[in-house]
Amino acid sequence: MKKNWIFFGLILITACQLLNEKTKKIEKPNIIILLADDMGFSDLGCTGGEISTPNLDKLAENGVLFTHFYSTPRCSPSRASLLTGLYPHQAGVGHLDEDWGKPGYRGFLNDHCVTIAEVLVENGYRTIMIGKWHIGSKRENWPDMRGFEKCYCIPKGGGLYFYPSKFSYVVIIKFSSSVQVKDNVSMFALQTILYFLA
Q: Which residues are catalytic?
A: 75, 134
Give Dmax (Cα) for the chain: 81
User: What type of residue sits at position 123?
Assistant: N
Q: Whole-angstrom Cα distance, residue 142 to residue 127?
A: 14
Q: Whole-angstrom Cα distance, residue 89 to residue 102?
A: 10
SS3 label, residue 47: helix
SS3 label, residue 100: coil
Q: Whole-angstrom Cα distance, residue 176 to residue 102?
A: 50
CB 142 within 8 A of CB 59: no
Q: 110 phi and psi, to 5 degrees?
A: -80, 180
Neighbours of 65 (CB within 10 A): 13
